[in-house]
Structures are given as structure tokens and as C-alpha cells.
Structure 1
Amino acid sequence: MALICDWCGIDNPEKATICEGCGTELKVKKSVEIKNVVTVSQNIDLRKKQITILLTSISLIGLIILFFNS
């Protein structure tokens, strides 16, 4: 994992203590990545909403076609 200098933004080797680009002291920061976590129940609820919207729009289109054909 490369260390990125806060001052100049250059990637430095993992064990470097001084930045190769600007010479400032590198400080090790612990970074935490937050990933988009979606539970199965949330995913199923979203799928149900999508299906409901799709069926509603198909029904409305069908009603409009029936109205204009009669």
C-alpha cells in the first residue's frame, strides 16, 4: 500500500518516511473504506417497488389504449 503525501499528492513507497517529491515527513493514517452495504431485505423491497411501478405503468397504458379504441 503506497503512502500518498498530504502536501504534494505523490505516491511514495510503503516504508518511506520522507516524501520523494517535496521532502515533507509522511504520517501514516489509518483509512477506513465505507462500502455501499445493502441487505437482502432492502434489495427485495427495492425489487418489489420496481415491479409494482412496472405493472402500474403497463396497466395505465392498457387503460389509455382501451379508452381511445372505444
Structure 2
Amino acid sequence: MAQDPAAHPQHSARVDLTEPEYYEALKSQLRIFSAGPAMFYAFSSFLVLASASATAARAWTAPERSSGSPEQPRWS
């Protein structure tokens, strides 16, 4: 049984590029692959700022203990 070449098209092909076309394709590929890390860094920066804000707000609103020794923590 012979396989039909049209049933399984080739997924990649060699294309002749000039040097300026190559550098344009390279720049666009770098933009695509740098978007992932940029999104990761933006999301992690947001998490750091959000956790710092939550910690600072909790420290300002924590109740003071009126009894107990100074060595004991002020809040539980």
C-alpha cells in the first residue's frame, strides 16, 4: 500500500532569505520569546507588592497587648 504524499504534508520547509529578512525574522522571534518572561516578572512583581502591602497593613492595625511581659509577642 503506497502512501499519498498529499495526506501528510511537510511541516517545515527551507526558505531562502536575504540577510535583512533574516534579521527581521530574528527580531520578531525574540519579541515573541521574551513576552513570556516579561509576563512572569510582571506577575511576580505584583505578588511581591501585594504581599508587602498586606503585611504593612496588618502591622499597622495589629492590636496592642496591655498585659504580659515585653518579651512575649504583641499579637498571635
TM range (shorter): 0.3 to 0.5
Task: Select the structure that is richer in strand.
Answer: 1
> Which structure ranks higher in relative contact order (CA pairs < 8 Å, sequence separation ≥ 6)?
1
Task: Select the structure that is richer in helix.
Answer: 2
**TM-score scaled by length of structure 1:** 0.45
